[in-house]
Amino acid sequence: MRIITPQDFQTQRAPDDWVTGAVWMDRSPAGPSPDAGVFRVFFEPGARTNWHTHPEGQVLFIVSGTCRVGKENEPPVDVDAGSVVYFAPNEKHWHGANPDSYMVHAAVNPAANSNGGTDWLETVTDTQYANT
């Protein structure tokens, strides 16, 4: 058993080549086994990640607010707090707050030791974000 306390987290603003808008992340340091990154992420209203993929997939737990999620070739959808969203390995997607409220989700990224478990891609345009 290994316990990571909030004092072990580093709160960092997500860099502008990963996200649009203000996004703050607390990341628990990855462990050797199971190799998984655990994050708490805050998005201001309208903020969202870039398009990206996870080599071993991802699980999101929506803690607060309404999450807007998108995948390729489909309109985005809004998901209420209390919901869980799974992404398959290498499924191209994005996630963020809807325009009306901030949003906080927990994220678990398997295979996080190599690159944080995320491969970052292009920006989500305002049109892609708004096309619900």
Q: HSE (CB half, 13 Å, CA atoms) of 117?
A: 25
For residue 40, list its beta bridge partners.
Answer: 26, 106
Q: How far is the CB of 66 from Mn ion (least distance, A)?
A: 17
Nearer to Mn ion by Cβ, of 31 and 57: the residue is 57
CA distances, 40 to each of 27, 48, 72, 85, 125 (Å):
7, 14, 25, 15, 24
Shortest Cβ 109–Mn ion spacing (Å) = 8
Contacts to Mn ion by CB under 5 A: 58
Residue 46 or 52 having the CB closest to Mn ion? 52
- Minimum CB separation of residue 49 from Mn ion in Å reads 6
Q: Which residues contact 15 (CB under 8 A, 6 or more apart)?
A: none
Nearer to Mn ion, 58 or 66 (CB): 58
